[in-house]
Amino acid sequence: MIKLRQMRGRLSGLSKVILSSALLLFITVACEDDESGQNNVGDVLYIDGPSGVTPMSTQTFTASEAGGSVSWSVTGNATLGTTDGLTAEVTFGAVGTATVNASGNGLEGARAITINGVEAALLEEGGVAFSNASVNNGGSETVTLTFAGPLASAPTLAFEGDFTAGTITSNFAEVSGSGMTKFIATITGGTGNGQLQGRMLNVTAAADYGGGVTDTLRVNLHAVDNVKPLAKFENADGVTVVNKGGSVKFMVSASEAIRAVKDSMKLALDYDAGSAGADTLLLLSQSEDDASVWYTTWTNTADGDGSFTATLDQSTVIDIASNDALWDPATSMFNVAVDNTAPTAFTLTATENDPVDEPRVVDVVTVAEEVGSTVHWIWLPYNSQFTPESPADFDGEGAGTTKFVASAGNYKLFYLEVDAAGNYDVNEDGTAAIKRFPVLTGEQEEGDKDASIEIK
């Protein structure tokens, strides 16, 4: 009997240890569940989703399998939205707490949610927007601020530092319909130059969003620019004569980005009887990455000969801050000739220059019909079966005296004059009227040695 009682005493002590360990384990699990926002009621139904959210946000929650469907409910600052079987959408209200509940198939679960306040901060992208990034003296532009959440009141803007380059014409006011998230102010440029910087103090979030206060919020504002851009108007490719279908590229370039007054950077075109084309041409920016270069291309549609002038109204060219351009050179007009008449007659001689040395040198002397023309030619062995048919078939060009280097032998020379506008003589069938030297006479045929240039 005494041994039995002693054994019972030992069993009671062991039971206490077991009970203490079980109680500690229960407390630990309960604490972990509380930290995760998952509170277990009866048999556990787990709910997945965030435990911290921002005001007015909508979140999705998912319950663990419970026979395929559960019933959802919420308490606190939240509204239950669409539910679909094991998922539910919940929209949260003002700063505070809420609980998302689910039950089904004898299981229950709840998730505690904290609705956190937000800082009075600008959006990372698009938070600061300008009607124009630069302004000059007296020019007014707007700046718009967009915040990540609604504010309690419109922020008050002041310039940071000592600036004489601008004034605040009207301070920030809410943009109608933005829900106190978007505000607009007007800045007027001053006499200086530089980057305006703004400062706002004690910017406060709306009460429903926690009422958080940002002590100082700084933003870059407009650049104030009173420096005139240096610009020039150019015939970009130096083309001074064109034929039908020919084109001329005109360009305006400047020392900085430029734009047009009311989008009216245009060329006025004046034609005589022999030229034709568009009445005006709008100069288009060369690329989004380079607004300092603008260009346009004019194409001739006339069949005759004549000329036209292209005149730029230089007063329509300004920089981003609306400063008028300074022009150097002051050229505002270009004249371009229109020529659709092909050259038909010129002289060509080929004379061996040095008959002793090898290889031989032949002087080819051409006198073109038109100033600015070039003569295209190709030397071939006298018995070659190839005959050129267009300017693309020639392998040389020149004007005046040109030297041809060759070994001794017999050759023939085909040639064609092409004027500065690209015109050349054509046959009745429209093919190029290519000439041969020496000229075939009498009964001579293309392969005759007698109808060749002999280089000894």
Please give the pLDDT value at position 429. 80
Please give the pLDDT value at position 86. 92
List CB contacts of 7: < 8 A, sequence separation 6 or more.
Answer: none
217-231, 333-347, 351-365: least confident range: 351-365
* pLDDT (tens digit per residue) in 114-146: 999 988 888 878 899 998 888 999 999 999 999
Q: What is the mean pLDDT of residues 27-42?
A: 41
Q: Are strands 47-48 and 58-63 parallel, antiparallel or unpaired?
A: antiparallel
User: Does 321 score more than 60 pLDDT?
Assistant: yes
Q: Which two tokens stand for residue 96?
A: 């505070």
Find tokens 């959802």 and name the residue. 72
Phi and psi torsions of 125, nearest 5°: -115, 130
- Separation of alpha carbons 158 and 202, rounded Å: 12
Please give the pLDDT value at position 266. 80
Please give the pLDDT value at position 387. 85
129-133, 207-211, 296-300, 447-451: least confident range: 447-451
Q: Are 229 and 324 in contact (CB under 8 A)?
A: no
Please give the pLDDT value at position 343. 82
Please give the pLDDT value at position 259. 87
Please give the pLDDT value at position 58. 97
* pLDDT (tens digit per residue) in 381-439: 889 888 888 888 887 776 666 677 777 788 888 888 888 888 988 887 878 888 888 88
Q: How many beta carbons lie within 10 A of that of residue 284, not counting itself?
A: 12
Q: What is the mean pLDDT of residues 275-293?
A: 74
* pLDDT (tens digit per residue) in 23-34: 333 333 333 344
What's the pLDDT band for 263 if we cut at 50, 70, 90? low
What's the pLDDT band for 356 if we cut at 50, 70, 90? low
Is pTM beyond 0.95? Reply is no
Task: Give me the count of residues in the chain.
Answer: 456
